Structure 1
């Protein structure tokens, strides 16, 4: 009996995952796509309909030419919100349970001391726009290192953000809070929907955002964090200019370009990366030669690309991360 229950649970997760990917499908189509028998698919889909995980809507042509009822994930199971928290603005977007297209918007922050109230207001505003549908996950992109357990560390580019207040609001809403480094989220987004879709070995550099410089690094398809979450904290790197030793973030634009080009190219070669994605904010002069400097120092096998997502990359990555967590919950029922 135990083996049968385990097989049914595995088939259930496979069916849900397939419907999440394709959007909607008939029972026959699900059986063909997953290799699970039509009898088993029909039984499990019927259970999922009763439990409220699936809903029926629309028809497709059956094998004998008869209309076949389609099923899809119940959109009222929940949604997610992603916020890129910066000292002067919030970049945010929401997504349904399937992680479908979203539009990133901005909310100004008049002063860093106001950032907590603006984050709380952003959450409230988005919740009002989704009545009768629970906010399952909120992912915040932070200008700080975050370890594998989701705990932020110093250096923190925005210490004014009161995470205890944000957590309290999430608790009231029944929402799970995810904290992640902003550059790491940008790297996730570029890999999932951006300039390097499907790439496994790469880094993404964010230069001169209001919160500073950041880098996200992937090796063998895995995000590199380091023991304390400090992997990618390029602002901690020191650079010598004459007799002075300074943080890369504090260098003048020309010396900063030289330092970043050398550090980034050294990482690209020594870590055997395939691609380097660079985003430079509008604060960077148009005369910037960073990308050309990096290309000149790298072998041709390593691509140097512009960010496809630009200033939206971190918010997009927050949504990618939150949708991933929501799917894991859904597939791990009954914990959902």
Structure 2
């Protein structure tokens, strides 16, 4: 394939985009849906077959005349991984570029000091299983905001994690790596395929062992703020009658629940959100229903504690799709 031919790359991307949306299409169907000539489609499909990006998947049903050979993405075109790091647990979610199937795995940690060893074990597990081919993209969900440099910043609830070392390792191995806030990724998962699907303006409140945070969608886009710290309740203070003010995360009950309920209700009302999403069994639910206007819904999270890993895998799958659509992939470097 002539990689410097922009029109050829554009047409390649169009055909791959169709196969990402609908897994089994014939050459004639690709030509009809893309508007490209059959000659062009045949040539590009041959390139994709030689690259190992697509493969023949038997005969297509529902076609007139002699059954034609159907094409679909190769099941081993690349693995997109999401890892959710907490002080005592690590969750893994793996998918292909189309994100139609997600494999999930979990590891227990002895504590925050063991987080880097646990991550090594997780990467070994991913390499051993690689259900969709070589690991191409990785997103790590962290209990910390992520700034412009792409690394975790304060307030960081897991300072033991060596983000720079993982970044260097992925660069050596040709793996696309991104870090992101865990609650933001959970909000991404809920917006894409969970309780917030179809809701352009919503907020997710997630309580975890490392703290509590908000994931905010405005106008259909994740809002992370000027410095990546939107939703970081670890920075928010709450007044107490006789003790001055304290960080809201460190309040005792019932002040903690009351403070969080008023804060979330004020945010949802002031921004005119359509819904607030909570974990199942959250003590905030009843109080929020009292505080919120009737037209702001309170809904239960679809993914719950699985949300950050699911959102991380979705982010990795999106980057893998973008790479596939951009052009032929460079061979993966051997694991170091």
Deviation at 1:132, TM superposition (A): 9.9
Alignment of 1:83-122 (within 5 A): 83-122=83-122
Q: State whether residues 96 and 132 of structure 2, in contact with CA within 8 Å, keep that contact through their aligned partners in structure 1.
A: no
Provide Cα deviations, 1:60-88, integer angstroms capped at 9, x if missing partner.
14753211111111232210221110001
Taking the aligned partners of 1:143 and 1:85, their CA distance within structure 2 comes to 8
SS in 2 for 1:80: strand
Number of residues paired by the alignment?
326
For structure 1, which segment, 300-309 or 29-38, has the greater mean C-alpha deviation from structure 2 after superposition? 29-38
Q: State whether residues 78 and 136 of structure 2, in contact with CA within 8 Å, keep that contact through their aligned partners in structure 1.
A: yes
Match status 1:73 vs 2:80: no
With the length of structure 1 as denominator, give the TM-score of the two structures: 0.90
Match status 1:319 vs 2:313: yes
Structure 2 residue ranges without an equivalent (≥5): 331-336
Provide Cα deviations, 1:164-191, integer angstroms capped at 9, x if missing partner.
3322432343212110000000001111
Taking the aligned partners of 1:63 and 1:87, their CA distance within structure 2 comes to 54
Structure 1 counterpart of 2:300, from 306, 313, 322:
306
Deviation at 1:199, TM superposition (A): 2.3
Taking the aligned partners of 2:155 and 2:144, their CA distance within structure 1 comes to 6
Structure 1 counterpart of 2:327, from 310, 323, 333:
333
- Partner residue in 2 for 1:176: 176
Deviation at 1:7, TM superposition (A): 4.1
Q: State whether residues 215 and 233 of structure 1, in contact with CA within 8 Å, keep that contact through their aligned partners in structure 2.
A: yes
Q: State whether residues 120 and 169 of structure 1, in contact with CA within 8 Å, keep that contact through their aligned partners in structure 2.
A: no
For structure 1, which segment, 50-59 or 35-44, has the greater mean C-alpha deviation from structure 2 after superposition? 35-44
Q: State whether residues 92 and 104 of structure 1, in contact with CA within 8 Å, keep that contact through their aligned partners in structure 2.
A: yes
Structure-2 change in CA distance of 1:74 and 1:39 (3 Å):
same
Alignment of 1:198-277 (within 5 A): 198-207=198-207, 209-243=208-242, 244-277=244-277
- Partner residue in 1 for 2:334: none
Deviation at 1:276, TM superposition (A): 1.2
With the length of structure 2 as denominator, give the TM-score of the two structures: 0.90
Alignment of 1:26-45 (within 5 A): 26-45=26-45
For structure 1, which segment, 28-37 or 10-19, has the greater mean C-alpha deviation from structure 2 after superposition? 28-37
SS in 1 for 2:310: helix
Structure 1 residue ranges without an equivalent (≥5): 281-285
Structure-2 change in CA distance of 1:231 and 1:172 (3 Å):
same
- Partner residue in 2 for 1:145: 145
Structure-2 change in CA distance of 1:35 and 1:277 (3 Å):
farther
Taking the aligned partners of 1:145 and 1:202, their CA distance within structure 2 comes to 19
Structure-2 change in CA distance of 1:40 and 1:215 (3 Å):
same
Q: State whether residues 234 and 247 of structure 2, in contact with CA within 8 Å, keep that contact through their aligned partners in structure 1.
A: yes
